[in-house]
Amino acid sequence: MRFIHVLTFAICTVLFSCGPAPTDRTGGETTPAGEKPNIVFIYLDDLGYGDVSAYGQTTLKTPNIDALAAGGVRFTNGYASSATCTPSRYALLTGVYPWRNEDAAILPGTAPLIIDTNQITVPGMLRDVGYHTGVVGKWHLGLGSGNVNWNERVSPGPNEVGFDYSYIMAATQDRVPTVYLENGTVVGLDPDDPIEVDYQKNFPGDPTGLDNPELLTMRWHHGHNHSIVNGIPRIGYMKGGEAAKWSDFDMADHFLERAQQYVRDHKDKPFFLYYAMQQPHVPRTPHPRFVGSSGLGPRGDVIVEADWAVGEFIKTLREADLLENTLIVLSSDNGPVLNDGYFDDAVEKLGDHKPAGPLRGGKYSLYEAGTRVPFIAYWKGRIDPTVSDALISQLDLLPSLAELVGGNLSTASGAMDGQVLLPVLLGESQEGRRDLVLEATSRTALRRDDWLMIPPYTGLALLEEVQIETGNNDSYQLYKLSEDPGQRINLAEELPEKLTEMVTAFENIRGK
Ligand code: NG6
Ligand code: CA
């Protein structure tokens, strides 16, 4: 098939005058060699809008991410779909708002898969048009259908929702099981030492972070006081599987090597790789060679480490001669948090660094820093470097990529909230979307044009443990973001007509 495409294009170039963006038989854009471009998502975990130098930060240096930003489209209004991980990842892969799926909330490591195996996904759509598809890194979208037996192949999972290859951690670095799974099977498991996982009760006699502080190399601040793995107390209880347990310090190298290998193995066919890095989520465990590299403690060090890994990964694409044939989208699943449950100096060593940049709030927050994140599209030789203020969401990637490659979304049942914004993604247009519903722990708000409206919510205004403002208020909040990115001036009372317009638009989308 690929040969036919190449041949078709070769004949085309000899006989006719073809346009600069050739179209192959299944539709969509192809590269100068007549091939569909490779597509890579580099997705960080809890990386804030202000955490990379390309977004104005001056303390930390992130030269490799900056290089993508400088050579591609750097979006200043690019959004994750939620202020926490699972819902954002659900939306990233399906193009559906996470609040439409009540299971799309932070999941324990034992939760069932929350993507319907019949649902259209980015990898499924791409596979249907000939891509090889892989995921390396953090999954956190659930596995199995309940009561997972970790000692057998775990299914359904990534391989059942469109990925040909998967090498993942099930949930998060702070949740059990602390093992990798390759295509559904725990890597390095000794059958004589089976894994058991329980999120309710401990296995009798096993140490915990709560009862055995003397065994800890990292202390817990809130939560995170169940089973101890590698001296780090986790969420949930796990027994067995000793030989399969990951090394926290090596995780970045480990995922990088798998991502690089994936590229080398599939360089002769169009591929899609979802490289889901674990940094800077807790527990922050930089490899020793990065310890102290940022001066900001482990949180800064793992961002430096992640930036290094991005650079190494790009090198691999370059060495395989794929850079001009690969669209890379780099972003984050939600905004930043400092103390997310461990004592790790993130607060104490922060100095002048502003993880949220000029924005208000952070992870878990309906304020802007919860969901507005670094968002970069890079395609060497195809995208002209630019800064784009267009409003774009990670929801829009699925339909935009379908447009790019001639993918079919007509089989999609249910809602499709993503919009076709291919020219925006490629930096050719600043006409982004008009409306976007933002989510934070099941609460929602509306961004429309330059305006942000948060409806009244009861509940705490400040999450004490993480020191993040939730966005909750007894009254409506209305902000004009270009003039007030820090959301300090509530215009709801001053501009009743604007508020009514926003509330009506919001309710229309939310279906109230
Ligand atoms: C919270 C955890 C937090 C983090 C978060 C998920 C506690 C007290 N806090 O419940 O540490 O794991 O879940 O983060 O347990 S996310 O980026 O995957 O959404
Ligand atoms: Ca996250």
Strand-strand pairing, 165-169 and 271-276: unpaired
More confident residue, 512 or 369: 369
Pair 296, 59: CB distance under 8 Å: yes
Between CA 407 and CA 150 the distance in angstroms is: 35
Q: If you average pLDDT over every residue of the chain, what do you get?
A: 93
**Per-residue pLDDT at 32:** 58
- For tokens 């890994």, the residue is 309
CB of residue 194 inside a 6 A radius of ligand 1: no
pLDDT of 5 strictly over 90: no
Ligand 1: residue whose CA is nearest its atom 18: 85
How high is the pLDDT of residue 290?
98
121 CB near ligand 1 (under 6 Å): no
Position 12 scores a pLDDT of 32
Residue 26 has pLDDT above 70, yes or no: no
What letters, b where the CB count within 10 A reaches 16 and e where it falls short, cover 81-95?
bbbbbbbbbbbbbbb
Residue 249 has pLDDT above 80, yes or no: yes
C-alpha distances out from residue 407 to 88, 146, 331, 346, Å: 22, 32, 23, 43
* 425 and 450 assigned to the same domain: no
ipTM field: 0.99
DSSP reduced 3-state for 260: helix
Q: Specify the pLDDT at position 481.
A: 98
- State whether 458 and 425 are in the same domain: no
How far CA 509 is from CA of 190, 394, 395, 505, in Å, comes to: 50, 17, 15, 6
Residues 133-174: tens digit of each pLDDT: 999 999 999 999 999 999 999 999 999 999 999 999 999 999
Report which ligand 1 atom has the smallest distance to the Cα of 223.
Answer: 8
CA distance 222 to 213: 14
For residues 268 and 392, membership in a common domain is answered with: yes
CATH number reported for the structural domain that contains residue 463 in this entry: 3.30.1120.10
Domain boundary among 435, 465, 487: 435
User: Which of 44-48, 187-191, 405-409 shows the lowest mean pLDDT across its residues?
Assistant: 405-409
Residue 386 shares a structural domain with residue 483:
no
Q: Evaluate whether residue 404 is within a structural domain.
A: yes
What 3-state class would DSSP assign to 78?
Answer: strand
Nearest CA-CA partner of 466 in 314, 334, 325: 334
pLDDT value of position 498: 98
The reply to whether 272 falls in a domain is yes
Pocket test for ligand 1, best of 44, 106, 365, 465 (most atoms within 8 A of CB): 106
Residues 348 and 457 in one domain: no
Q: Is there a domain that residue 428 lies in?
A: yes
Integer Cα distance of 195 and 177 in angstroms: 8
Supply the residue whose CA is at minimum distance from atom 11 of ligand 1.
340
Which ligand 1 atom is at minimum distance from the Cα of 222?
8
Q: Is the pLDDT of residue 10 over 50?
A: no
Boundary-marking domain end, from 417, 435, 453: 435
The whole-angstrom distance between residue 73's C-alpha and the CA centroid of its chain comes to 18
Q: What is the pLDDT of residues 339-366, one digit of tens each?
A: 999 999 999 999 999 999 999 999 999 9
Which residue lies with its CA nearest to atom 5 of ligand 1? 106
Whether residues 147 and 100 fall in one domain: yes
How far, in Å, from the CA of 331 to the mean position of ligand 2?
11
Domain check: are 103 and 161 in the same one?
yes
Instruction: Please compute, for residue 108, the number of CA atoms within 13 A of its CA located in the half-sphere on the CB side.
Output: 17
pLDDT digits (tens, 9 = 90+) for 53-93: 999 888 999 999 999 999 999 999 999 999 999 999 999 99
pLDDT of the residue at 58: 86
Residues 451 and 374 in one domain: no
Query: Could you please report the per-residue DSSP string of 366-428?
Result: SSGGGTB--EEEE-TTTSPPEEE---EEGGGHHHHHHHHHT---TT--S-------HHHHTTS
**Res. 13: pLDDT tops 50:** no
In a domain, residue 208? The reply is: no
Within 13 Å and on the Cβ side, how many CA atoms surround 230?
Answer: 20
CATH code for the domain in which residue 366 is found: 3.40.720.10
**Mean pLDDT to the nearest integer, 207-213:** 98
| Cα 49 to ligand 1 centroid, rounded to whole Å | 19
Model confidence at 193: pLDDT above 50: yes
* Residue 34, pLDDT above cutoff 80: no
Residue 57 has a pLDDT of: 83
- Give a yes or no: residue 8 inside a domain: no
Q: 336 and 483 in one domain? A: no
**Residue 13 included in any domain:** no
Domain count, the chain: 2
- Shared domain for 292 and 411, answered yes or no, is yes
Percent of the chain with pLDDT over 70: 93
172 Cα: distance to centroid of ligand 1 (angstroms): 8
Claim to verify: residue 446 and residue 307 sit in the same structural domain: no
Q: Are residues 281 and 354 in the same domain?
A: yes
Please tell me the least confidently modeled range out of 6-10, 321-325, 422-426, 429-433. 6-10
Helices marked H in 276-396: 298-319
Say yes or no: CB of residue 281 within 6 Å of ligand 1. Answer: yes
85 CA from centroid of ligand 1 (Å):
9
User: 35 versus 87: which is more confidently predicted?
Assistant: 87
Among 411, 435, 459, give the residue marking a domain's end: 435
Ligand 1 pocket mutation, candidates 174, 364, 464, 468, criterion most atoms within 8 A of CB: 174
Tell me whether residue 209 is in a domain: no
Is residue 288 included in any domain, yes or no? yes
Check residue 150 and give its pLDDT.
98
Give yes or no for residue 455 having a pLDDT over 60: yes
| pLDDT at residue 15 in the model | 32
Containing structural domain, residue 52: 38-195+240-435
Q: Looking at residue 17, what is its pLDDT? A: 33
